[in-house]
Amino acid sequence: MSTSVAPQLRLLHVHAHPDDESSKGAATTAKYVAEGVEVMVATCTGGERGSVLNPKLASDPDIEHNIAQIRRDEMSRAREILGVQQVWLGFVDSGLPEGDPLPPLPEGCFALEDPKVAAGRLVQVIRSFRPHVVTTYDEQGGYPHPDHIQCHRITVEAFNAAADPYQWPEHGTPWQAAKLYYHMSFHRRRYEQLEAAMHEHGLEYQVPTRDNDPYSYGRLTTFVPCAEYFPVRDEALKAHATQIDPDGPWFAVPLAIQQMGWPTEDYQLVMSRVPTMIPEDDLFAGLRPDSPVPEFII
């Protein structure tokens, strides 16, 4: 267990749905919680239109009829496992439209909100929690789910608006977060290393196909070593039982091979109010009292 360092540091993750906080950056979260950093998750929607993705539960009609409450309960368990604070922004899940052509998004859903207006709820959270670091998804949402793309939009808007005293004065004292990151852990470099490690142990593994791999590949700036917290990540993931099959692809690579083959969770630094050296190994690089003055800064 890491010793407490700078407990005044605060980290805000902004995610689209319950379970995203466990599938993206959860080991990083657990690492910083163990160090005494305050971590909050802002969840944009309740996942009300999500499907039951765990085949072991897919045939239970009670789950489908009560999916909104079940996903809130799953989020509560994951929150306890990760040791984070969590707030619901209260937007309505947009669902994932499928078909050709794609059907229209449902009226009143999160993805159809005006990002400048929707950002107000997050501005209030930022001004209340006062994070030093904020994370969210890239312009493609990490993958092109309309709620993930909208989550990106409102986070970037709120990151800037929260510091502007002329915007949202009713939401508290302005606060300028120091750094904004995008999650980038699902990229080809990682998958290729895991594939090589699996083959070294005589195991089969096929690199997942991701259309946006070239988009994320060259944008990696920050590699947070957190392999010892992968078990916490997995426990938090399994808390979202309707979304995660414990025998499914999330766990196709044995834990020990993951820890050896790619022991970091990865990010792109996109905004920084403090000098830092790239590549980083800490989301709080440049913010700790003992941070060195870099020769090359961003």
CA end-to-end distance (rounded Å), the chain: 32
Residue ranges for the known binding site are 17, 20, 148
Token reading at 68: 């909104």
The 3-class secondary structure across the chain, one letter per residue, is CCCCCCCCCEEEEEECCCCHHHHCCHHHHHHHHHHCCEEEEEEEECCCCCCCCCCCCCCCHHHHHCHHHHHHHHHHHHHHHHCCEEEEEEECCCCCCCCCCCCCCCCCCHHHCCHHHHHHHHHHHHHHHCCCEEEECCCCCCCCCHHHHHHHHHHHHHHHHCCCCCCCHHHCCCCCCCEEEEECCCCHHHHHHHHHHHHHCCCCCCCCCCCCHHHHHCCCCEEEECHHHHHHHHHHHHHCCCCCCCCCHHHCCCHHHHHHHCCEEEEEEEEECCCCCCCECCCCCCCCCCCCCCCCCC
Q: What is the dihedral of CA 92, 28, 24, 55, to 10 degrees?
A: -100
Contact present, 54 and 243 (Cβ < 8 Å): yes
Residue ranges of the annotated binding site for Zn(2+) are 17, 20, 148
Strand partners, 182: 136, 268
